[in-house]
Amino acid sequence: MDNDNSYHYQVITFGPALTLLLAQGCVPVWLPPADEVLLAAGLRHDPHSTLEGLGEGRALVLDRCANCHAPPTPTVIHDERWPDLLPRMVERAELTAEETERLLAYLEAGADVPPPAD
Ligand code: HEC
């Protein structure tokens, strides 16, 4: 894992940059694809992770969390506001308990995957 890379990811995704994304809405957000790197990260959190489940979580982020703002970047789960945001966003997106689990599994795994180097 490239530490320099993940540090850079944190710096650009937290704080003002995320607010800017929210305001502009159309800035592309990189969401880790459902591949073997994501699966390896998912398995470290939950040994029952599957590529299919993680892919469904990714689809939920794109289909249900990006209606009102840009899709959230997975590292948002490390944001101190996350515990407060999560229940409100789940309600807004009208996710079932099962969908919420899939969404969280994807965000958790995706937060560990560094973005590609430009
Ligand atoms: C019905 C519209 C709507 C949906 C659907 C929605 N959100 Fe939001 N979201 C908002 C609004 C409005 C704000 C800003 C105000 C606030 O914090 O409530 C926001 C703010 C956020 C923020 C904080 C962004 C920042 O840096 O200030 C995150 C993260 C977030 N949403 C994640 C999600 C996730 C994850 C989902 C899917 C489960 C989701 N949202 C679905 C309306 C929505």
Pocket test of ligand 1: the residue of 13, 79, 85, 107 to mutate, having most ligand atoms within 8 Å of its CB, is 85
Backbone angles phi, psi at 116, to 5 degrees: -65, 145
Alpha carbon of 47 to ligand 1 centroid (Å): 29
Alpha carbon of 89 to ligand 1 centroid (Å): 5
Is pLDDT of 109 > 50? yes
Q: What percent of the chain has pLDDT over 70?
A: 77
Assess whether the C-beta atom of 64 lies below 6 angstroms from ligand 1. Answer: yes
Q: Average pLDDT of 8-14? A: 43
Domain regions of the chain by residue span: 3-110
Assess whether the C-beta atom of 89 lies below 6 angstroms from ligand 1. Answer: yes
Residue 97: band (very low, low, confident or very high) from pLDDT cuts 50, 70, 90: very high
Residue 5: band (very low, low, confident or very high) from pLDDT cuts 50, 70, 90: very low
Tokens of 107: 């965000």
Tokens of 83: 């515990």
Give the residue, by CA position, lying nearest to ligand 1 atom 29: 72
pLDDT at 27: 57
Residue 65 near residue 93 (C-beta atoms within 8 A): yes
pLDDT per residue over 40-73, tens digit each?
Answer: 999 999 999 999 999 999 999 999 999 999 999 9
In the chain, % helix, strand, coil (3-state, to 5) comes to: 65, 0, 35
**What does pTM read for this prediction?**
0.82
Q: Which of 107, 6, 115, 112 is nearest to 57 (CA)?
A: 107
Q: What 3-state DSSP class applies to 43?
A: helix
